[in-house]
């Protein structure tokens, strides 16, 4: 009887050890997949940034062709002191796995009109809907965050954003060519992509560290 | 009287008409553009241009070249040709030639005023001014705070003085006021030029009427499209349209209330000369509109050379050279940005 009990308990211990090993292996694989996902996203975003910037520069040249060199040149840039139309916010993730800062672009936020929070939210909405589709191989990556839609408020925000865009272009005149507006949108998209690249790079470096530690632990 | 220019034109302007027709023969050909479009670097462009009339202006420029340098040096060629013709011209041709440069003068005034508003250095702004639009007291523009001072201190002694009567206010200069001032001045200048050409009569009046009417109509379309989504009211928009041209007055009434590109298209397609321009564009698109207008303008400018004994050839030559310089600017930008596949987006071939 005692022998049977001992055998039973040793089997249980073995099973527990096996389970722990499987769990450990699963976590390792999860980190590797997370690293590969972030690397893929990083490369995709870099490519997207490059093509967006190329498009923006060509659109700017096209606007210069349309409006004339005297209307679009560096000598017209405004040197007067003014508050930034766009700022970068750094927040810290509450994620247990990835304890790292997170960058958020606060576009077209003006302290005068107090629309800063709406801009931040609108930016998140845009980033989530317009950004490149990131592939998630891992089933453990978690579902994308769903932000509830609001009705009515986006229209007011869009109007204000349009006004801010027009205001920033006003250094070249108030009646500017649609090509210049298109160039502005391209560079705006490029700025959003840059911030995404920064976030993805942080994730990539963090998961890379974890994978390296696990490999070193395995070899040791 | 129209038809009798052949008897007297060559007495005063025959030499200069021959000169300008010689300059016309020096415009870049399709073969030149083919070579330029295949260049890999800006130095290659410089090498190809060395065999053209631009060669002497670029030969001493050191590498690495910049696109603005190429444009600047090519513009010097245009300025030299113009100055030679102006110093040889007698009235009324000399006044006609001066009228051609008033548009550049307006652009320079607005550049200086805008740059000063943005706290830029005056010297830096003067370097960016178009050489054809320079005048003696241009640097003094930087001290003016409003349009009244602008007029009283500087512009009263310039050819632009008569055009200021409609926009003299004591309001401080800001971005919107400057834009309205630019367009109001240009409107007054075009109308004045048009009246001057009508007074000259004959073939000059007929050919220049067509060219200036096209210019006025194109301006109306551009103002309408560029003011969509801005704070410019319909009434203010209508005030910026010229009082002549094919679109005046009914087309202007309709353009003033347009809220998008398709509505502008709907208005323009009612006018047969502009149907062909808008038929090249797809719905909702305006990117190729500039090129379509430039192509139509070049066609009309080339036709001006088909007839003799009129001043339109001088205007046509200046505009064709400016188009050529725009082409060179675009080709240089495409080469510099390594986007040669897009070079034919904006190049307008002449002849």
Interface test with A, best of B103, B109, B115 (most A CBs within 10 A): B115
User: CB–CB of B138/B157 below 8 Å?
Assistant: no
Among the listed ranges A158-162, B111-115, B219-223, which one has the minimum average pLDDT value? A158-162
Contact residues, chain A, for B118 at CB < 8 Å = 76-80, 171
CB interface of A with B, residues 42-81, below 8 Å: 54, 57-58, 61-62, 64-66, 68-71, 73, 75-80
Closest approach of B119 to chain A, Cα-based (Å) = 6
Residue-wise pLDDT for B55-74, tens only, equals 999 999 998 899 999 999 99
Nearest residue of A to residue B129 by CA position?
A70
Is the confidence at residue A55, as pLDDT, over 90?
A: yes
pLDDT (average), residues B312-330: 96
Whether A173 and B115 lie within 8 Å, measured CB to CB:
no
Residue-wise pLDDT for B161-215, tens only, equals 999 876 666 667 777 788 888 999 999 999 999 999 999 999 999 999 999 999 9
- Tell me the two tokens of residue B9: 């034109």
Contact residues, chain B, for A162 at CB < 8 Å = 229
- Tell me the two tokens of residue B28: 């870049």
Q: Please indicate if any CB of chain B lies within 8 Å of the CB of A175.
A: yes
Residue-wise pLDDT for A189-217, tens only, equals 999 999 999 999 999 999 999 888 888 87
What pLDDT is recorded for position A98?
53
ipTM here:
0.91
What's this model's pTM, rounded to 2 decimal places? 0.85
Rounded distance, CA B301 to CA B306, Å? 10
User: CB–CB of A122/A161 below 8 Å?
Assistant: yes
User: CB–CB of B277/B225 below 8 Å?
Assistant: no
> Residue A116, class by beta-carbon neighbours within 10 Å (0-12 exposed, 13-18 middle, 19+ buried)?
middle
| Interface of chain B toward chain A, CB-CB under 8 angstroms | 68, 71, 107-108, 110-111, 114-115, 118-120, 124-125, 127-130, 175-176, 178-179, 182-183, 222-223, 225-227, 229-232, 286-287, 290, 326, 329-330, 333-334, 337, 339, 342, 345-346
Residue-wise pLDDT for B12-26, tens only, equals 999 999 999 999 999
3-state SS of B172-229 is ECCHHHHHHHHHHHHHHHHHHHHHHHHHHCHHHHHHHHHHHHHHHHHHHHHHHHHCCC
pLDDT (average), residues A100-126: 59
User: CB–CB of B79/B297 below 8 Å?
Assistant: no
pLDDT (average), residues A171-177: 89
Rounded distance, CA B51 to CA B33, Å? 13
| B146 DSSP 8-state letter | B
Whether A75 and B124 lie within 8 Å, measured CB to CB:
yes
Average per-residue pLDDT in chain B?
91
Q: Which of A57, A65, A162 sits opposite B329 (nearest CB)?
A: A65
Rounded distance, CA A35 to CA A196, Å? 16
Percentage with pLDDT > 90 across chain B: 73
Q: Please indicate if any CB of chain B lies within 8 Å of the CB of A89.
A: no
Hey, is B230 helix, strand or coil? coil
The Cβ of residue A165 has, within 10 Å, a number of other Cβ atoms equal to: 18
Which residues are CB-neighbours of B306 under 8 A, at least 6 positions away?
Answer: none
Residue of B121, B219, B112 lying closest to B173 (CA atoms): B112
Residue found by looking up tokens 């050839």 in the block: B313
Contact residues, chain B, for A54 at CB < 8 Å = 337, 339
Interface test with B, best of A178, A180, A182, A185 (most B CBs within 10 A): A178
Q: Which of A171, A175, A176 sits opposite B118 (nearest CB)?
A: A171
């Amino acid at each position: 009887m005692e022998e049977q009990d001992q055998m039973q308990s040793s089997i249980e211990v073995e099973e527990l050890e096996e389970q722990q090993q499987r769990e450990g292996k699963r976590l390792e694989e999860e980190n590797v997949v997370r690293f590969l996902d972030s690397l893929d996203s990083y490369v995709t975003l870099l490519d997207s940034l490059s093509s967006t910037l190329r498009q923006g520069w060509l659109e700017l040249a096209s606007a210069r062709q349309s409006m004339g060199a005297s209307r679009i040149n560096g000598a017209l840039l405004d040197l007067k002191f003014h508050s930034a139309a766009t700022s970068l916010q750094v927040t810290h993730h509450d994620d247990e796995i990835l304890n790292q800062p997170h960058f958020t672009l606060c576009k077209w936020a003006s302290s005068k009109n107090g629309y800063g929070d709406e801009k931040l939210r609108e930016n998140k909405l845009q980033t989530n809907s317009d950004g490149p589709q990131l592939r998630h191989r891992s089933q453990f990556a978690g579902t994308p965050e769903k932000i509830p839609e609001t009705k009515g408020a986006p229209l007011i925000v869009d109007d204000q954003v349009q006004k801010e865009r027009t205001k920033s272009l006003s250094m070249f005149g108030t009646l500017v060519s649609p090509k210049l507006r298109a160039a502005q949108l391209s560079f705006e998209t490029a700025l959003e992509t840059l911030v995404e690249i920064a976030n993805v790079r942080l994730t990539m470096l963090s998961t890379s560290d974890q994978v390296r530690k696990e490999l070193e632990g395995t070899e040791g | 009287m129209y038809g009798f220019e052949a008897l007297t034109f060559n007495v005063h302007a025959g030499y200069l008409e021959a000169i300008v027709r010689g300059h016309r023969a020096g415009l870049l050909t399709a073969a030149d553009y083919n070579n330029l479009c295949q260049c890999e670097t800006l130095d290659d462009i410089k090498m190809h241009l060395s065999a053209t009339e631009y060669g002497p202006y670029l030969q001493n420029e050191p590498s690495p070249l910049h696109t603005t340098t190429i444009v600047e040096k090519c513009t010097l060629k245009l300025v030299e040709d113009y100055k030679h013709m102006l110093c040889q011209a007698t009235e009324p041709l000399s006044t006609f030639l001066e009228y051609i440069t008033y548009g550049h003068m307006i652009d320079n005034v607005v550049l200086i005023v805008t740059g000063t508003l943005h706290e830029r250095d005056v010297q830096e702004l003067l370097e960016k001014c178009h050489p054809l639009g320079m005048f003696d007291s241009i640097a003094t523009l930087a001290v003016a705070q409003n349009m009244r001072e602008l007029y009283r201190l500087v512009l009263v002694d310039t050819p632009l003085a008569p055009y200021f009567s409609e926009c003299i206010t004591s309001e401080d200069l800001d971005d919107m006021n400057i834009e309205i001032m630019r367009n109001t001045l240009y409107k007054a200048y075009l109308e004045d030029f048009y009246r001057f050409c009508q007074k000259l009569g004959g073939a000059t009046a007929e050919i220049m009427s067509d060219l200036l009417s096209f210019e006025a109509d194109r301006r109306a379309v551009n103002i309408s499209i560029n003011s969509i989504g801005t704070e410019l009211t319909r009434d203010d928009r209508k005030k910026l349209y010229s009082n002549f041209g094919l679109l005046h007055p009914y087309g202007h009434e309709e353009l003033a209330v347009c809220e998008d590109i398709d509505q502008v298209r709907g208005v323009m397609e009612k006018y047969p000369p502009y149907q062909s321009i808008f038929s090249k564009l797809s719905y909702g698109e305006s990117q190729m509109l500039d090129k379509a207008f430039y192509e139509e303008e070049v066609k009309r400018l080339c036709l001006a050379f088909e007839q003799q004994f009129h001043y339109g050839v001088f205007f046509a030559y200046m505009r064709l050279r400016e188009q050529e310089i725009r082409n060179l600017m675009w080709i240089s930008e495409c080469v510099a940005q390594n986007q040669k596949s897009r070079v034919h987006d904006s190049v307008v071939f002449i002849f």
